[in-house]
Amino acid sequence: MQAAASEIYLLDAATLGIVDANQAARLNLGHDAASLGAMDVYAIAPALDPAVLSSLLAGLGEEVGAQVGLRTRLRRLDGSSYPVKLCFLRIVRDGRSLLLAIADDLTLEQAAAQALAQSQARFDAIVRNTPGLVFQLAHYGDGRLEFPWLSDGCQALLGLSVLELQRDASLFEGLILPEDRKGYLECMQVSRDELTAWNWEGRIWIDAWKDVKWINLRATPHPVDGGAVQWDGIMTNISDSKQEQHEVVRSRSRLAELTDHIEQVKEQERARIAREIHDDLGGNLTAIKMALAMLAARLPEQPVLLEKANYLDDLVDRTIEAVHRISLDLRPTMLDLGIVAALEWQAREFEKQMGIACVFRSPDKDILLDDDHATALFRIFQEALTNIAKHAAATRVTVSLRQQRAHLTLVICDNGRGIEPADRLKPQSFGLRGMSERAKALGGTLALSPAPGGGTMVTIKTRLAAPRLPHEAPAHELSNSAGQND
């Protein structure tokens, strides 16, 4: 009795006075043996109802070893109290009828229960305010699936009650559209085999609402008894975000189509202006030059008049050269000879104007492209050379153009300082963006990478298509007309 960890009291069966108490009782209450000997059970347990205790003990019976129990609080000497479970047993000591009262301190048990209740309340609050379905899904070794726990969001998200899904877990798989079901099963299997996070997006059909929903499933697996795997996770409705993504994609597609259309219209307008400048201004300037030559031949031998005539003749020549240069800038006539000839001519012009060696190579002497494709590729090439001249500080440029089955690849390498990732993100880097958009409009890609030995390599890959017939491409007719006039 003295060595027991529980508090033990000997009580007089008739008066309920304390006859003796062990050391644990004395230490916990703060009373010595003499003090306790002057008390009864109600002094240390004032919360006890005498009527309730009398009724409880009356049912104890007179036989030795019978016991009853209740919960109450014991009060210490300092006035504090603590919860206990009291168990009463009848015993006989030296012919005297006694009660043995054993008190087990419930402080830790109640604190744990309170903490558990608080934790459960917080969990319930989080689950109630979570926009989706919180779940536990178990996958057993025999292939059986089971939902041990589901939140109340089950009905709102899946159109199924918790009981329905717990009775038959396969109902969830049945909701998944057939074209998305394979991906769902593969993701689950990978997560189960490798114990990695399960993240899946797919569509489900809610028959009750005749509606398709996009859902996202995120879960963490962990092994459980019997070789099974259990996931703790959440499902959320992402239909709105998917719709927004699709709208963004469609908007970008429409914007790209509009940009491509604007570029085509712009190129057609350039070709028209180039043709009119060449035909009208060029023709007029040629007529003026001829008229000046005739007038100069008939002028009297006066140095001042001859000097003026020569000045006007030089001015007309310079104007004709300017018209020719502007026409070439608007639309190079070399494009009428094919993309290979046009790029090779542009490489020579770049070398001549910028003083940077530019080597052009192409195993194909002629590559058939429709006019829009050839013009767009030529403009990309021009922009790439402009960027090199402005920013690269290069001394050499190497260009290669090759046809590979249904694709055309243009690679432009320089030996300059290279391009940093931050340079591509500059708000004003419209040149790179324009090149990329032109490549996308051609159904291709544009990639920037470090060039072998330093510098930058620009790689443009586009799909090849059969050249369109003249009646299918007004721009082609227009450019042909400009070429014939040249």
Q: Encode pLDDT of 15-42 as tens digits.
A: 999 999 999 999 999 999 899 989 999 9
Higher pLDDT, 377 or 424: 377
Q: Encode pLDDT of 92-106 as tens digits.
A: 888 788 889 999 989
Residues 323, 202 share a domain: no
Q: Is the pLDDT of residue 434 over 50?
A: yes
214 domain residue, yes or no: yes
Among 203, 237, 271, where does a domain finish? 237
Among 209, 237, 265, where does a domain finish? 237
Q: What is the CATH number of the domain that holds 469?
A: 3.30.565.10
Quote the pLDDT of residue 476: 38
Confidence of residue 472 (pLDDT cuts 50, 70, 90): very low
Residues 340, 452 share a domain: yes
- Looking at every residue in the chain, the average pLDDT score rounds to 85
pTM comes to: 0.51
Among 190, 214, 237, where does a domain finish? 237
Residues 189, 68 share a domain: no
Q: Is the pLDDT of residue 147 over 90?
A: yes
Quote the pLDDT of residue 426: 62
Residues 71, 24 share a domain: yes
Residues 146, 225 share a domain: yes
Residues 478, 397 share a domain: yes
Q: Give the C-alpha separation, 322 to 277, whole Å.
A: 10
425 domain residue, yes or no: yes
Confidence of residue 350 (pLDDT cuts 50, 70, 90): very high
160 domain residue, yes or no: yes
Quote the pLDDT of residue 465: 66
Residue 29 sits in which domain range?
A: 7-111
Residues 443, 348 share a domain: yes
Side chain identity at 414, as an amino acid letter?
D
Number of compact structural domains in the chain:
4
74 domain residue, yes or no: yes
Residues 320, 206 share a domain: no
Q: Encode pLDDT of 120-146 as tens digits.
A: 888 777 777 778 899 999 999 888 999
120 domain residue, yes or no: no
Confidence of residue 410 (pLDDT cuts 50, 70, 90): very high
Q: What is the CATH number of the domain that holds 62?
A: 3.30.450.20
Residues 467, 364 share a domain: yes
Percent of the chain with pLDDT over 70: 93
Residues 177, 84 share a domain: no
Q: Is the pLDDT of residue 173 over 90?
A: yes
Question: Cα–Cα distances in Å, from 40 out to 48, 59, 90, 162, 456?
Answer: 12, 20, 17, 55, 96
Q: Give the C-alpha separation, 352 to 273, whole Å.
A: 26
Residues 467, 376 share a domain: yes
18 domain residue, yes or no: yes
478 domain residue, yes or no: yes
Confidence of residue 468 (pLDDT cuts 50, 70, 90): very low
Residues 387, 310 share a domain: no
Give ∠ CA 475-443-374 in degrees, rounded to 5. Answer: 35
339 domain residue, yes or no: yes
Rounded to 5 degrees, φ, ψ at 385 are -65, -35
